[in-house]
Chains A and B, each alone.
Chain A
Amino acid sequence: DQQVKQNSPSLSVQEGRISILNCDYTNSMFDYFLWYKKYPAEGPTFLISISSIKDKNEDGRFTVFLNKSAKHLSLHIVPSQPGDSAVYFCAASGSGGSNYKLTFGKGTLLTVNP
């Protein structure tokens, strides 16, 4: 069963506009949620995270929103830049014995057009 889902395999936006990437999860025991960005031939790069006790976290152009009741989170990139074109992974981390692993979604390919 897929505990973290990214239902949009791809997203295309214009430079300067907002990019919104979505992620749903099923496991209510997840404590932290993270977003990673991956370029071809490179490993995933950590972008931003949010604790389950918060509903928003901001870092520069990147903002993550968490809706616990809906088990949904989203990453907003404003403004989008061509260099943001990459695969974005949503990941979740549990507590206790499962705290030491990340459960990933399958990723969304973002293309920012100049």
Chain B
Amino acid sequence: KAGVTQTPRYLIKTRGQQVTLSCSPISGHRSVSWYQQTPGQGLQFLFEYFSETQRNKGNFPGRFSGRQFSNSRSEMNVSTLELGDSALYLCASSKRQELAKNIQYFGAGTRLSVL
């Protein structure tokens, strides 16, 4: 069974640009979450989607947005990039039976560098 797939793996952008990251969850998983990992702040929750609906959002500015498609694939978008947005962005998926325990399975991440 394929794991969570994130594309691209690496991305370099300049300040002011926007970026879209993609995530394909494990087959059959309908919940998709996004996290940002930085050396200073660690892993921080961005948002979570289930059946195309955002159910929870972390404390990030409105420049960070996401969406989920009917096939459970998800994208996150960051507009007007800032230097501080440089981070590893991780996507995770969960299956229905494990939603209560919130066991999430992570992809390898997209490393975003903002110059």
For A, the interface residue count at a CB cutoff of 8 angstroms equals: 25
Task: Assess A100 versus B101: contact at CB under 8 Å? Given A43-B107, A43-B108.
Answer: no
Interfacial chain A residues near B105, Cβ < 8 Å: 46
Least CB separation from B34: chain A residue: A101
CB-CB contacts below 8 Å: B23-68 with A:
31, 33, 35, 42-45, 48, 50, 55-56, 58
Picked from A97, A101, A105, the residue with its CB within 8 Å of the CB of B42 is A105
State whether A34 touches B106 (Cβ < 8 A).
Answer: no
Least CB separation from B106: chain A residue: A43
Pairs A-B, 3 closest by C-beta atoms: A43-B106, A93-B102, A104-B43
Binding site for A on B (CB under 8 A): 4, 31, 33, 35, 42-45, 48, 50, 55-56, 58, 90, 92, 99-109
